[in-house]
Amino acid sequence: MRIRKMKEDEIKETLTIEQKELYPELTSEQMRSWVEGKGPFAPQCFVAEKDSTIVGFIVLSPYEVRNKEVLLEISTIAVRSENQRQGIGKNLIEASLSEVKNLWSKEGFRVVGLLVETGEDEEEAIAFYEKILPSFQKRIFREIWEDEKGIVFYLASFILKT
Ligand SMILES: CC(C)(COP(=O)(O)OP(=O)(O)OC[C@H]1O[C@@H](n2cnc3c(N)ncnc32)[C@H](O)[C@@H]1OP(=O)(O)O)[C@@H](O)C(=O)NCCC(=O)NCCS
Task: Using the mean position of ligand 1's atoms as its centre, give its distance from the Cα of residue 44 in Å.
Answer: 21
Domains in the chain: how many in total?
Answer: 1
Q: Residues with Cβ within 6 A of ligand 1?
A: 21-22, 77-79, 84-90, 118, 122, 124-125, 127-128, 131-132
Mean pLDDT of all residues in 138-161: 89
pLDDT over 70, % of the chain: 98
- Angle (CA) 19-103-158 rounded to 5° is 80
Check whether 28 has a pLDDT greater than 80: yes
**CATH code of the domain containing 119:** 3.40.630.30
For residue 64, give the amino acid letter.
E
For residue 54, what are the domain limits? 2-161
- 40 band by pLDDT with thresholds 50, 70 and 90: confident
Strands 2-5 and 44-50: antiparallel
Task: Using the mean position of ligand 1's atoms as its centre, give its distance from the Cα of residue 66 in Å.
Answer: 31
Check whether 119 has a pLDDT greater than 90: yes
